[in-house]
């Protein structure tokens, strides 16, 4: 790293907090010169000011601007109403992308929740819980780019010819142990969307497991013990007591997963770049933006994504207000 | 990746009663449980293990035989792949770029969020609740809806392709989550603390630096890990605002490009992927406690 870069980096890491602290200290000194009645009125705005400015500049204003762009022709000159949405939704390949997002929504969310729940419950009953949870959780630390590459390697395909070995782990098991014909998991349209989804499931299962596990440990043991004393089997305890008590937690994890499923981008970008009918909305939006240079279509797709997220957004707001009310 | 509040349901950090530890010893009846759990764990490790092993195998073998054959003689391992990718594929430069992006993009939003979170938690002002509700709503908004206008503005301001631009972008995108997490933590500090400090004549600035920040180290640590992993692992923001210029490209962009250009040279791709994973894995292993605590305490960002 050259000297200029280091100066730049240190300048940002040290400089920004120092400037912020100075800003707070100096404005506070000024506030104290004001009549006391004014202190409480001015100070909060100075403290939230920088954050509100950045949030407005990077989220609120651009969001509104995108909505605006989506209502005009690509050159931005003539208003076309919802015509861009009609055009986008009339495009067969966009419909495929929407279908794939639905697959992501259902299977990604469902599988992560199920695997997370099963692993949390199983790990809770063994003495080596810690190491198991760490290992399952580890993929959360790596990028989706790396995860995509890892799974492309897992899914590698070699033709089934004498002298040719399967180098992909999955096909090696499939061909050598189960004696099936090798499958091009990423290309074969019967399985490829599920292959991509599973790569993301692999990354996120640890997330669901860790949170479910924490909630599981919050269940009073008396409840499950009482059921066992009354003669309930382990399966009944799990289905009738554990799962219902975990439902609020699973719902909350689910909302995070649903948003992720709608925005899925990196895995698809790395593994197929949307080819072989694996495209999704977020990848398509990026493609319209850079490959086709069609900002109007791209904005329309982004708005459709936002629309899809709105039920989750409302759910989150309601839940937040409920939480605040009981605080 | 997404930014979403998780975990409203009260999660008790387990003072686990002895009763629930029953059955934590090996018995014949629990054998299927152990087998199933260990099998699942192995399935979860195999992908990473295959990657790691392949990155140390010579290229002519990686593309002819499975990585598991490396464990039988003749044992052929090499460091060539790593020296290849680090030198000729721009990976070392990308590593430095990733650091240059991720460190300020972690520090700046946390600094800005801390002041805002304190105001949201302990100061009274008009629209406070409405503004905070807006931030909670923004947690779910896909950042795709911001890309076009921000990129257009960056082009006008000549911030596209610059580190400054991507720091600002990561700061803007990271703030709702950071404020949300910190405000919930600050807000949970006991009221008496502030009252007695106030009686002693401490103003908000003193209370913030002397009281709130020292007590909030765990929350700040959790947030720092989330934000660091998020910015280090980010592909989309870098792809859009840095415009594929190799001089500023982070690891994620470079590795994604290598997948296109190296195609089937998995000995190089696996080495490159592992270089990109090494630092986040170290951070994760060293700080796992804070990571998990931050997640279960109220939120996660993926």
Confidence at residue B298, expressed as pLDDT on a 0 to 100 scale: 53
Q: In chain A, which ranges are continuous DSSP H helix? A: 3-31, 36-55, 61-69, 83-89, 92-103, 109-123, 129-137, 144-154, 169-172, 192-216, 221-229, 234-237, 243-263, 266-271, 281-290, 295-326
Does the CB of A292 have a partner CB in chain B at under 8 Å? no
> Are the C-beta atoms of A69 and B187 separated by less than 8 Å?
no
Name the minimum distance, in Å, from the CA of A86 to any CA of chain B.
18
Q: pLDDT tens for residues B35-94?
A: 999 999 999 999 999 999 999 999 888 888 889 988 887 788 999 999 988 887 788 999
Q: Which residues of A touch B168 (CB under 8 A)?
A: 54, 58
The whole-number pLDDT of residue B118 equals 96
How many other β-carbons are positioned within 10 Å of the β-carbon of residue A90?
A: 9
C-beta atoms of B47 and A312 within 8 A: no
- Looking at chain B, the whole-number percentage of residues with pLDDT higher than 70 is 88
More confident residue, B171 or B6: B171
pLDDT at B215 over 50: yes
Contacts (Cβ under 8 Å, ≥6 apart) of B111: A16, A17, A20
**Tell me, what's the pLDDT at B297?**
62
Summarised one tens digit per residue, pLDDT across range B254-299 is 999 998 887 778 889 999 999 999 999 999 888 888 877 777 665 4
Across the strands, what pairs with B3? B301
Confidence of residue B24 (pLDDT cuts 50, 70, 90): low
Residue of A nearest to B278 (CA): A142
A132 in contact with B, Cβ within 8 Å: yes
Q: Which of B214, B227, B147, B127 is nearest to B179 (CA)?
A: B227
pLDDT band at B160 (very low <50, low <70, confident <90, very high): very high
* Cβ atoms of A255 and A35 closer than 8 Å: no
User: What is the pLDDT averaged over residues B228-253?
Assistant: 93
B135 pLDDT higher than 80? yes
**pTM of this structure:** 0.91
- Mark which residues 246-265 of A lie under 8 Å from B by CB: 248-249, 252-253, 255-256, 259-260, 262-263, 265
Q: Which of B93, B98, B77, B51 is nearest to B266 (CA)?
A: B51
**Record: contact B259-A149, CB cut-off 8 A:** yes
In chain A, residues with a C-beta closer than 8 Å to the C-beta of B239 are 286
Q: Is residue B14 over pLDDT 70?
A: no
C-alpha distances out from residue B144 to A64, A264, B162, B280, Å:
12, 11, 20, 25
Residues of B in contact with A256 (CB under 8 A): 2, 4, 6, 300, 302
Do the chains contact at A55 and B175, CB–CB below 8 Å? yes
Partner-chain residue, chosen from B7, B125, B251, that has the shortest CB–CB distance to A45: B125
Indicate the residue of A62, A165, A215 with minimum beta-carbon distance to B66: A165
Q: By the CB < 8 Å criterion, does A9 face chain B? A: yes
Secondary element (H or E) of residue B293:
helix B266-297
pLDDT(B21) > 50: no
* pLDDT tens track for A262-271: 999 999 999 9
Q: What is the pLDDT along chain A (327 residues), one digit of tens a residue?
A: 678 888 888 989 999 999 999 999 999 999 999 998 888 889 999 999 999 999 999 999 999 999 999 999 999 899 999 999 999 999 999 999 999 999 999 999 999 999 999 999 999 999 999 999 999 999 999 999 999 999 999 999 988 888 888 989 999 999 989 999 999 999 999 999 999 999 999 999 999 999 999 899 888 988 888 988 998 888 899 999 999 999 999 999 999 999 999 999 999 999 999 999 999 999 999 999 999 899 999 999 999 999 999 999 999 999 989 888 876
User: What residues of chain B lie within 8 A of the CB of A304, using their CB?
Assistant: none
Given a contact cutoff of 8 angstroms between Cβ atoms, the answer to whether B237 and B170 are in contact is yes
Which residues from chain B sit within 8 angstroms of residue A119, using beta carbons? 37, 40
Q: Do B145 and A207 touch (CB under 8 A)?
A: no
pLDDT in tens, A191-207: 999 999 999 999 999 99
Residue among B8, B235, B240 minimizing CB distance to A144: B235
Query: Region B15-22: what's the mean pLDDT?
Result: 42
Residue of A nearest to B287 (CA): A141
């Amino acid at each position: 790293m050259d000297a200029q870069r280091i100066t730049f980096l240190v300048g940002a890491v040290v400089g920004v907090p120092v400037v912020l602290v100075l800003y707070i200290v100096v404005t506070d000194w000024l506030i104290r010169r004001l009549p006391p009645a004014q202190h409480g009125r001015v100070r909060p705005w100075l403290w939230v000011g920088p954050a509100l400015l950045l949030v407005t500049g990077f989220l609120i204003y651009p969001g509104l601007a995108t909505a605006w762009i989506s209502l005009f022709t690509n050159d931005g000159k003539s208003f076309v109403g919802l015509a861009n949405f009609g055009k986008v939704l009339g495009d067969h390949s966009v419909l495929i992308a929407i279908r794939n997002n639905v697959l992501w929504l259902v299977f990604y969310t469902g599988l992560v929740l199920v695997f997370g729940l099963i692993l949390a419950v199983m790990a809770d009953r063994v003495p080596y819980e810690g190491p198991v949870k760490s290992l399952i959780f580890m993929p959360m630390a790596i990028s989706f780019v790396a995860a995509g590459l890892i799974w492309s390697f897992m899914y590698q395909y070699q033709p089934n010819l004498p002298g040719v070995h399967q180098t992909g782990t999955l096909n090696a098991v499939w061909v050598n142990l189960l004696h099936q014909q090798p499958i091009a998991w990423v290309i074969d349209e019967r399985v490829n969307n599920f292959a991509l989804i599973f790569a993301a499931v692999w990354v996120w299962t640890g997330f669901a497991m860790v949170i479910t596990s924490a909630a599981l440990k919050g269940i009073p043991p008396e409840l499950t013990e009482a059921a066992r004393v009354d003669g309930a089997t382990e399966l009944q305890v799990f289905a009738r007591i554990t799962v219902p008590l975990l439902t609020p937690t699973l719902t909350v994890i689910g909302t995070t997963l649903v948003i992720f499923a709608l925005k899925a981008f990196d895995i698809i970008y790395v593994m197929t770049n949307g080819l072989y009918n694996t495209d999704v909305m977020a990848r398509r939006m990026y493609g319209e933006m850079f490959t086709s240079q069609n900002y109007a279509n791209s904005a329309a797709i982004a708005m459709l994504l936002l629309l899809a997220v709105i039920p989750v957004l409302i759910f989150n707001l309601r839940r937040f207000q409920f939480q605040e009310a009981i605080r | 990746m997404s930014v979403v509040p998780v975990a409203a349901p009260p999660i008790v950090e387990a003072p686990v009663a002895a009763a629930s530890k029953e059955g934590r010893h090996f018995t014949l009846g629990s054998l299927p449980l152990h087998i199933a759990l260990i099998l699942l764990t192995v399935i979860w490790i195999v992908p990473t293990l295959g990657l790691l092993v392949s990155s140390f195998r010579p290229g002519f073998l990686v593309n002819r035989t499975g990585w598991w054959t490396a464990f039988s003689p003749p044992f052929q391992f090499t460091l060539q792949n790593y020296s290849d990718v680090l030198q000729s594929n721009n990976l070392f430069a990308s590593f430095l770029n990733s650091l240059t992006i991720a460190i300020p993009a972690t520090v700046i939003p946390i600094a800005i969020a801390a002041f805002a979170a304190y105001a949201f938690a302990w100061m009274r002002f008009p629209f406070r609740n409405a503004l905070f509700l807006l931030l909670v709503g923004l947690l779910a908004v896909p950042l795709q809806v911001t890309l076009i206008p921000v990129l257009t503005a960056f082009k006008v301001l000549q911030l596209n392709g610059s580190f400054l631009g991507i720091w600002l972008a990561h700061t803007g995108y990271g703030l709702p989550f950071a404020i949300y997490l910190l405000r919930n933590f600050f807000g949970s500090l006991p009221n008496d603390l502030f009252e007695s400090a106030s009686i002693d004549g401490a103003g908000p600035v003193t209370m913030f630096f002397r009281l709130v920040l020292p007590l909030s180290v765990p929350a700040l640590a959790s947030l720092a890990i989330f934000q660091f992993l998020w910015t280090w692992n980010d592909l989309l923001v870098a792809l859009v605002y840095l415009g594929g210029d190799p001089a500023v490209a982070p690891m994620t962009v470079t590795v994604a490009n290598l997948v296109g250009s190296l195609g089937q040279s998995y000995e190089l791709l696996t080495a490159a992927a592992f270089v990109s994973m090494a630092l986040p894995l170290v951070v994760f292993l060293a700080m796992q406690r804070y990571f998990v605590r931050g997640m279960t305490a109220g939120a996660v960002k993926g």
